[in-house]
Amino acid sequence: MLPELRARDPHAAARSAVLILAVCAGVVAGLNTFGQTSISPLATAVGWLVVLLLAAGAAAWMLIDPVRLDRIGAGSVMAVTGVLLVCLLNLLTRDTTAASQAFLAFPVLWAASHLRKGAVILVTGTAVWSDCVTLFLLLPAGDAATDVVFFGAVLVVMAVMLVRANGVRDRLVDALQEQARVDALTGLVNRRVFDEALETTLIRPVGSGTALVLIDVDSFKTINDSHGHPVGDDVLVHLARVLREQVRTDDAVLSRLGGDELAVLLRDCTADVASRRAEGLLLAVRSTPLPLPDGTLLALSISLGVAHVPERSGDLRTLYHDADAALYDAKRAGRGRVAVAAA
């Protein structure tokens, strides 16, 4: 099924579908039971058939996995079918009142609330066209045209407003999710995302194993004290940019863990290769000083600790511990260097 005809959130759509189908089944059953006595036996029979269909639909959305239903476009099918059933009942009962046409709002409202834009256009267009056909079959042309314009405008405006509101909400949700994943200062992924990637790599290692490189900015407190915290922030942004240019995103993940500590996850990487790549990061930082607002250049240095685990070996805590111990060794040995944890 085309993605545009599927639900934005299959589980939310399913919960809402159960409710709206059950309510509609109850309303149609009530109308059949207490409705007009002049309704034909055929209309009554079709009405009860519609009740059964609505009840079956509610049961299906309740019992079947919403994701499976969404894959076959069940939401779009349900909404379009609902529109056609409303118009069929209106034809059989010869009911052209505002109340009868108002039932078209149910499938359109549901579609606009839960389906993607393409499906909303399909459902709303079907509703307007089906209502047009029904009214022109039952009313004089002038009266039918008036009703079509009025109810068509209501349905279209309602659908457009809901689609726009959902679009704004989706953008806000995406922005919040991005903020939850990315460090606001450097633009690097945060520790939670990095830990998830590292743990996944350790669970399903490939090739030559996994390496973790911990990076600490040398004399970062001195930089903050001497130049101010805004320059300290500039240092972190600058480092993130320099390191990002050296790290290939297809086999590595670069993260800011917190403060002035950064980390690189290297997948399918031997210990020797990890050490060489860490040396490359060190040289890149040394050769790229930070321009300060007064035009001077601030030389930067980092210390790096490297830990490596072969395929199908190691765990998250141990790898962090080994890399942190190696980082401490690099700092104790004079900073501005790479230290590798013992295998």
Give the active site residues: 260
Integer Cα distance of 40 and 36 in angstroms: 10
Q: Which of 153, 144, 134 has its CA nearest to residue 89?
A: 134
CB 114 within 8 A of CB 75: yes
CA distance 1 to 307: 47
% helix / strand / coil in the chain, to the nearest 5? 65, 10, 20
Query: What is the phi/psi pair of residue 327, to 5°?
Result: -60, -40
Tokens matching residue 116: 């993607």
Beta bridge partners, 304, equal 215, 338
Q: Which one-letter DSSP state was computed for residue 289?
A: P
Label the pairing between strands 338-340 and 302-309: parallel
* Distance from the Cα of residue 124 to its chain's centroid: 25
- The alpha carbon of residue 247 and the mean position of all alpha carbons in its chain are separated, in whole angstroms, by 26
Distance between CA 112 and CA 48 in Å, rounded? 27
Cα-based angle 110, 154, 61 (whole degrees, multiple of 5): 10
Answer positive or negative: Cα dihedral of 237, 238, 239, 243.
positive
235's CB contacts (< 8 A; 6+ apart) are 217, 220, 223, 260, 290, 298, 300
Q: Which residues pair with 302 in a beta bridge?
A: 217
Say how far apart CA 105 and CA 83 lie, in whole Å: 9
What is the residue type of 159? A
